Structure 1
Amino acid sequence: MKKFSLAAVILASALAVTACGSSSNKDNGGAPSTGGGQPAAAKVTVLKVARNAVPNPPFSYLNDKNVMDGYTVEYLKLLDERLEEYKFEYEEIAREAMLVGVESGKYDFAANFYYRNPEREAKYLFSAVEYGYSLNSLIVKKDRDDIRSLDDMKGKKLTPMSPSTGLRTLVVDYNKKNASNPILVEDIDAVTDAEAVQWVASGKYDAFLTNTTVFENVNAQLKLPLKIAAYVTKEPIWVLFNKDKKDLAARFDEATKALIDDGTLPALSEKWFGVNMFKSLKDVNEQYKFK
């Protein structure tokens, strides 16, 4: 029998262990082993998310348990569950700070029922698939019957609006087409929905242009003598990304489309708005009653 030195035996044992380890990795599809023959867990990327600190029910607000709730909040939870390669970390900040933070890259994205316009598209990347809609209305005092459309607002005063809000863009576009007799509106850095409805109720301004359900929720608390005078438009709302997040936006689009196709988002719309906003504006309008 041929004799082997102790060093040779140790070397051979080491090579055998190495070979077994290589075979194990190959069987696991090339994934590195974490011990016990199991592949390593997939890498999870943490996303910094800007969320609106100003309550905008039913899109986002603090519920009676002091927890963020609403349509947009639930939509983001669904995405966080379905996009397993990402983990969302939220920061509640002011609306203007959200936009600045996404543009600078401090935040990866923001969801605050944003509308699209050329100025924003120059600074941000928008999702290609809308995650919902905003049904917008003119709110007036109950004893007024002279306002039924935007045309009736010519020469009249809307409550002040933040330049960053999508509804401000609707008014700007309207005034460009009606420059000789525009709707009167002032810019303001920040204003709450409660302040706006109180200004209309006091007679300081003629009307408040806002999301229908936002008004209904706010006035359910304030109980002011106001009414919906007209539905102006149903606008798609989008997630807004930092310009460098093309891959992230594409994954959001995939997941959002799936949530619409499988009925999840239409059902969520029914829950928070009392109507399926993904239907046509005509169908949506038939669900609402106003004088």
Structure 2
Amino acid sequence: MKNKKKKSLLTAVLFAPLIASIALGGCASQAVETQTGTNAEVNAKIGTAEAKKIKVAFAQTGKPITYVDENGKATGYDVEVLKLVDELLPQYEFEFVPTTDDDLLIGVESGKYDVGLKNAFYTEARAAKYIYPKEYLGASASGLLIRKEDEGTIHDLSDIAKLDKKLLPIAPQDAQYSLVQTYNNEHPEDPIPIEASESFTVQDGILLIAEGKYDAWLVIKSNYDINVVAKDGAYHNLADELAWSTFAATKTWPLFNKKQQALADAYDGAIKQLKEQGKTKELLVQFLGEDTASYLK
């Protein structure tokens, strides 16, 4: 009991200046939720140690992975997972900054931002510019956007090969391109012809499938959900003519600035804990409608 009293007195002496400064700073005492959490959460971190501020850039229009909601709040699967990571790392204080894809990539590389979130796949070109952590962040479901008439016969890439269907061209830097290459390497006796295209917009792909110029589009599921399934989607009018078949997933990663190895290592420990607790699975179901990580090979 005596020791506890001494500890309480010592704590009061050490933190008296901090408490006084917070009381004087009007805005610091407001109970308002910010992008980095409530003031109580921030103060709790400062109470244990001076937290290092980390700027986490995210693609502001990447719903459901990264976006700004109707209340101006940063959210989406990637963002919410990083908020949980932040809670497990009291030595850091994350600030979530909405921006464009291009500014994110340039900013993380230059050091303007410490971390970038944009449903990023692994590429060798990016690995030369950014730190990829050991632990992946999420899993982006990949599948085939097809016409309704083919729903019962086309399920995966093997059906494309077997039925001699025409696959929409894919940009070589797209992770979906590597899925076809992997399939062809594993099935040299019956490869799928793949035409490279440097640029195909989501809208072009949807229309080309609907019009019958191509039979299937290998793409991530969020493109289908946002543009076709959603009632406010640009091509919701084609919902009765198109269908979707998920058969694979690609790991997604946060991108760290090259000088942030310690932060990346800390992230690895935190995200591993969250996966073991089932937290990432819960968020995948919440934002993507299913545990897309179950499709990972």
Taking structure 2 as the reference length, the TM-score comes to 0.69
- Residue 54 of structure 2 is aligned to residue 47 of structure 1: yes
Equivalent of residue 225 in structure 2, options 216, 230, 233:
216
CA distance in 1, matches of 2:293, 2:52: 31
Offset at 1:95? 2.3
Figure out how many residues of one structure are paired with residues of the other and give that number: 251
The secondary structure found in structure 1 opposite 2:291 is: coil
Offset of 1:80 from its aligned partner? Answer: 2.5
Q: Which blocks of at least 5 consecutive residues in structure 2 are unaligned?
A: 1-5, 20-45
Work out which of the residue numbers 186, 193, 200 in structure 1 matches 2:197.
186
1:266 aligns with 2:281: yes
User: Does residue 207 in structure 1 map to residue 216 in structure 2?
Assistant: yes
Q: Distance in 1 between matches of 2:270 and 2:47?
A: 25
Q: 1:38-77, aligned counterparts within 5 Å? A: 42-55=49-62, 57-77=63-83
RMSD value, Cα: 3.6
Deviates more, 1:111-120 or 1:169-178: 169-178
Query: 1:181–1:207: structure 2 CA closer, same or farther, 3 Å change rule?
Result: closer
Query: How much has 1:276 moved relative to structure 2?
Result: 2.9
| Alignment of structure 1 residues 47-126 onto 2, 5 Å | 47-55=54-62, 57-126=63-132
How far off its partner does 1:158 sit? 1.8
Question: What secondary structure, in the 3-state scheme, does the structure 1 residue paired with 2:193 have?
Answer: coil
Structure showing greater Rg: 1
SS in structure 1 of the partner of residue 292 of structure 2? coil
* Deviates most, 34-43 or 261-270: 34-43
For residues 37 and 49 of structure 1, what CA distance do their matches in structure 2 show?
27
- Could you report, residue by residue, the CA deviation over 1:5-36 in whole angstroms, capped at 9, with x for unpaired residues? xxxxxxxxxxxxxxxxxxx99x969xx94547
Aligned-residue offset at 1:84: 2.1
Cα distance in 1 between the residues matched to 2:255 and 2:18: 42
Quote the offset at 1:194 in angstroms: 4.6
Preserved contact between residue 158 and residue 205 of structure 1 (Cα < 8 Å):
yes
Do structure 1's residue 149 and structure 2's residue 156 form an aligned pair?
yes
C-alpha distance in structure 2 between counterparts of 1:97 and 1:173, whole Å: 31
- Structure 1 pair 203/67, CA: closer, same or farther in 2 (3 Å)? farther
Contact 1:159 1:205 in 2 (8 A): no
Q: Which of the numbers 259, 265, 268 marks the counterpart of 1:250? A: 265
| Matched position secondary structure for 2:125 | helix
Q: Deviations over 1:197-248 (max 9, x none)?
A: 23432345443222224423431233212112x4342222221111221100
Structure with greater helix percent? 2
Give 1:186 deviation, angstroms: 0.8
- CA distance in 1 between counterparts of 2:98 and 2:211 reads 32
Cα separation, 2, equivalents of 1:124 and 1:78: 22
Q: Percent identity?
A: 28
Deviation at 1:98, TM superposition (A): 2.2
| Residue-by-residue CA offset, 1:101-149 (whole Å, 9 max, x unaligned) | 2222222111222222333222221121122212200102223467543
CA distance, structure 2, for counterparts of residue 162 and residue 63 of structure 1: 32
Q: Deviations over 1:167-188 (max 9, x none)?
A: 344356567887x863113112
Which stretch shows the higher mean deviation, 74-83 or 138-147? 138-147
